[in-house]
Amino acid sequence: MSSSPAVAPSAAPQMTQGLITLFAFCCGAIVANIYYAQPIIDLIAPEVGLSAHGASLIVSLTQIGYALGLLFLVPLADLLENRRLMLATLGLSTLSLVAISFTTSAPALLAMSLLVGFSSVSVQMLIPLAAHLAPEQTRGRVVGSIMGGLLLGILLARPLSSLIADHFGWRAVFMTAAVVMLVIIAVMARTMPQRRPDHHASYGELLLSLYHLMTRHALLRQRSLYQGLMFGAFSLFWTAVPLELSRQHGLSQSQIAIFALVGAIGAVAAPLAGRLADAGHTARASLLAMVLAPLAFWLALVHPAYSVVGLAITGVLLDFAVQMNMVLGQRAIYALDANSRGRLNALYMTSIFIGGAVGSSLASSLYERGGWGAIVICGSALPLIALACLLVNSRRR
């Protein structure tokens, strides 16, 4: 481990463009661990003795592990030296991914899936660290650029997983991910600046403070609600669209993987949103995002056949809107309390995760009962609710 000097929150100039790029890459690579299994559970389940119904537990337990990590690991970023905490967490990720690639039993695979999700929350330690290191006048741009890397990781994980599994088998997916984690550990140990938080409470007091932060800051509650609804629509779309593409348009797994790459275009929203926030346009940009999201779904009403091109446009616009609103929310909540950014981020991301989990869980049943029309109705309703809440809160202020 490098012996670079500790960085205080005031040492903002150290957030160079090279460090921003490093943070963005690390965020994308780490968050991808959560999504690798989603498109290949049908390949994994038979080899470890899971039924077709039980295969969904692989994804569910990864998500549950991520939620637990957000609540119990991420707050430690306000208590412990950040770089050492992240390296330890990444070490656990690496071991869990290697274990999955060799396991032959269902209980072991499910336990490791839980650990993969739990340890992948180091990405939510990197983002508050970047906010600490960045000067106030460029904090939105910095966070936006890093969030762009995170979104690319989310969007690229599924197609990469499908392609690797098609050519080398599903175990190669997790072994490749473990190698990537080892590379990140080596790079972070040499280049990542240290940060020792000023917070001196015990771990128990730190967890209790999560409740106080949520009740104290109305803006945190509002932005969490907005983004939870927006991310619910995002997860609903990306869980249901593979079903629509395969059943109604006859696309193969590899073709669906290519389709998913199109959504990566929406990642350009992150740095744009950061710049808008830095310029004081958070309210207008939030309004734009919450109007654009339902409009993206309503493309189905323009063309009855709703072609693959139309679905791709919906994916790009929806990703753009959701990513923009996420960065705007993070920029806003980081300004609430500099010494609590790790916990503020944990609460914000947990709320988003809950919305995403609800959207994913609704997708299959909605599609089976009402087809793509049901997805359009529900998917557009969620951001419309967020828009209504934004307008009501704006009038109150």
Question: Considering only the top CATH level, what class is 13-396?
Answer: mainly alpha
Q: Which has the closest alpha carbon to 147: 265, 334, 62, 20?
A: 20
Q: Write the DSSP string, 158-202.
A: HHHHHHHHHHH-HHHHHHHHHHHHHHHHHHHHHHPPB---S----
Between the alpha carbon of residue 33 and those of residues 27, 41, 116, 157, the distances in Å are: 10, 14, 7, 8
| Per-position pLDDT tens, the chain of length 397 | 444 444 444 444 467 888 889 999 999 999 999 989 877 777 888 899 887 666 767 877 887 888 889 888 988 888 888 899 999 999 999 999 999 999 999 999 999 999 999 999 998 888 888 877 888 777 777 877 887 788 788 878 988 988 898 889 999 999 999 999 999 999 999 988 888 877 677 888 888 888 999 999 999 999 999 999 999 998 889 878 877 887 888 887 678 778 877 766 766 665 677 677 777 788 888 999 999 999 999 876 665 556 888 888 888 889 889 888 988 898 889 889 877 887 888 889 888 878 887 887 787 778 888 988 999 999 999 999 999 999 999 887 6
Cβ 43 vs Cβ 165: under 8 Å: yes
Q: Which amino acid is at 135?
A: P
Cβ 290 vs Cβ 390: under 8 Å: yes
Question: Where are the domains positioned within the chain?
Answer: 13-396
